[in-house]
């Protein structure tokens, strides 16, 4: 087990005070975290040489304001995806791949259709929003 600074404080299979916990090598990188809306958010800037190690004070994760209103309830769904973050982002950003890549699982090739996007709104270094039109009807894509 590790403390908030990433130092080893206990090895369950070893006696108290044994050498591995006192070793400099028995440590992990500690990253800033916060809990919001039932999700644990991790600031990963410390993983990259050119990134800020601590999160900017003025920003945080993109939260859904309506979830903070009294009386609003939501349910969570989670699934283990055995891929790295770049593969996940690539797939989320490419909804047109669903009918082909996931044929006979979560989609069908017969559902393939153009996905048109309107003009980008609120475009900045933090993301954008765009209106989209699919066979299923209108929607909005927000990327932050």
3-state secondary structure 30-54: CCCEEEECCEEEECCHHHCCCCCCC
Average pLDDT by stretches of 10, the chain with 144 residues: 85 75 80 85 77 69 84 78 72 77 88 79 80 77 76
In this predicted structure, what is the pLDDT of residue 122? 81
| Beta-bridge partners for 120 | 130
Exposed / middle / buried, residue 134 (Cβ in 10 Å: 0-12, 13-18, 19+) = middle
**Three-state DSSP class for residue 107:** strand
Q: What's the pTM? A: 0.43
Q: Residue 118: which of 141, 96, 97 has the closest Cα?
A: 141
In this predicted structure, what is the pLDDT of residue 10? 82
């Amino acid at each position: 087990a590790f403390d908030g600074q990433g130092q080893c404080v206990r090895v369950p299979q070893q006696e108290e005070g044994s050498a591995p916990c006192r070793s400099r090598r028995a440590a992990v990188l500690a990253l800033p975290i916060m809990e919001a809306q039932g999700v644990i958010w991790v600031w990963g800037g410390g993983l990259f040489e050119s990134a800020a190690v601590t999160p900017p004070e003025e920003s945080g994760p993109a939260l859904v304001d309506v979830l903070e209103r009294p009386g609003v309830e939501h349910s969570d769904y989670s699934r283990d995806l055995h891929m790295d973050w770049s593969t996940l982002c690539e797939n989320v950003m490419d909804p047109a791949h669903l009918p082909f890549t996931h044929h006979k699982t979560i989609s069908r090739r017969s559902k393939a259709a153009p996905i048109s996007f309107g003009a980008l709104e609120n475009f900045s270094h933090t993301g954008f929003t765009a209106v989209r039109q699919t066979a299923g009807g209108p929607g909005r894509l927000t990327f932050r």
